[in-house]
Amino acid sequence: MPELRPFPALRFAESAGDLSLLLAPPYDVIDPDQAAELAARSEHNCVRVILPAGPEDTRYDAAAAILRGWISRGILATDREPSAYVYRQEFEADGKRTERTAVFAALRLTRYAEQVVLPHERTHSGPKKDRLALTLATRTQLSPVFMVARDSSGTFHRLSRQALAQAPAAQATTPDGIRHTLWRLTGDEAASLLSVAGAGPLLIADGHHRYETALAAAELLGDNVKAAYLLTCIVSQEDPGLLVRPTHRVLSGPPTGGAGSFDWPAALLGSFELEDLGALPLRGLEDRAASLPTGAFLVAPEGSRVVSLATARPLALSEAGIPDQEARIAPIVFDRLVLGALYGVEADEAAHRGILSYSRTPIAAPKGSGGCSFVLPPVSLDDVWATALRGGRLPPKSTYFEPKIPSGLLFRPL
């Protein structure tokens, strides 16, 4: 079973300024423009250490120097007692105010083969190299790995919410309208909560690269006992605020190479049944995709006003070796019957070569390139668990848990 422990967090002190201006999304969803905007909010915004600027040979040491400076000047201070930190996010979702409760703790690292921690997505190699260099330079876990507890009885969710009646340790409202509140639990109260949180395997929702980076760092820092544990943020699957969104795909050009017009319906017809849905506006595609049959998706070729519903043919699924339980999952069907069948590459290579890009919202394929957009439905959490429990992996960016757990609420020094 997972071993969860309280820990003394390194947190922004009052002298750092308004916490609302110090938080940032996880590093992997921050583009250069947003990084600049976050840095402009405050000289102490955590983006300066989680996504340091500058050339590769100096930026990691620069992040470490910034962190040391903040600690020496009292901008960051370590809590006196090991604690479990209950965290509530209040946010807008689907037109209504929603909230989600989570718990920060230190989790003992284990290999995936032990099935204590379950991954559900494949990872790209580049981000792990970057995060490892940053971890080794700063000797600090700067961002949590977001995990889900099965919690079929709801006990973990109920106990975590009991802490909300106490006085909070920190509060912030970020410019995106999300309200963040943090509570500290110590002693028996913390131990009881972490005991139920670790009553069964934990699923990595977001942060596969960070988890695998932590395993690598623990090997390299073998004599560092703290490196055997990882900063995690755990949510109960029974929490109504646990939302799973899709990530859509865009192919930049046709599989034949070059640019220009390409007959996408003809290319897809061998593997998919296509239903002409007419000219749907981009902003309406996601709503339409949310109600699609499992494993199906929408296809919007560049230069065409026609959107098609693509449903994989049973024979194509069988010939590609896609079993029934995977045929339900649109990213797997896309990877095997579109990316693999037409381009002959896997997602990691396609992304590296600029063939494949990802988008949180439906977007048109690049104009004049002959590319195509694929609008996917969300993967159900039950399918995510089922894949993880049988030792499988979904393609990269199959799920998007919304909202993200921010960086900057707390850090865990090694």
Q: Write the pLDDT tens digit of every residue in 11-60.
A: 999 999 999 999 999 998 899 999 999 999 999 999 999 999 888 889 99
Q: Kindly report, as residue ranges, where domains of CATH 3.90.1530.10 are found in the chain.
A: 4-243+401-413
What confidence tens digit (pLDDT) does each residue in 183-220 have?
999 999 999 999 999 999 999 999 998 999 999 999 99
Per-residue pLDDT tens digits for 300-317: 998 887 899 999 999 999
Q: Return the CATH number of the domain spanning residue range 4-243+401-413.
A: 3.90.1530.10
Report the range of poorest mean pLDDT among 112-126, 144-158, 241-255. Answer: 112-126
User: Rounded to an integer, what distance in angstroms lies between the CA atom of residue 81 and that of residue 3?
Assistant: 19
pLDDT > 80? residue 286: no
**Alpha-carbon gap, residue 50 to 407, rounded angstroms:** 8
* SS3 sequence of 171-207: EEECCCCCEEEEEEECHHHHHHHHHHHCCCCEEEEEC
Report pLDDT for 261: 80
The reported pTM is 0.89
pLDDT-based confidence at residue 124 (cuts at 50, 70, 90): low
Long-range (24+ apart) CB contacts under 8 A made by 273-278 are 273/310, 273/311, 273/312, 273/313, 274/299, 274/308, 274/309, 274/310, 275/308, 275/309, 275/311, 276/306, 276/308, 277/306, 277/307, 277/308, 277/309, 278/306, 278/307
- In this predicted structure, what is the pLDDT of residue 293? 82
Query: Residues for the chain: how many in total?
Result: 414
pLDDT at 182 over 70: yes
**Residue 328: partners with Cβ closer than 8 Å, 6 or more residues away:** 294, 295, 383
Cβ contacts of residue 310 below 8 Å, gap of 6+? 268, 272, 273, 274, 296, 297, 298, 299
Measured distance CA(324)–CA(271) in Å, rounded: 16
Please tell me the predicted confidence (pLDDT) of residue 282: 67
Q: What gap in Å lies between CA 259 and CA 262, rounded to an integer?
A: 8
> Where does residue 111 rank: exposed (0-12), middle (13-18), buried (19+ CB within 10 A)?
exposed
Average of per-residue pLDDT across 338-345? 95
- Express each pLDDT in 352-387 by its tens digit: 899 999 998 888 788 778 999 999 999 999 999 999
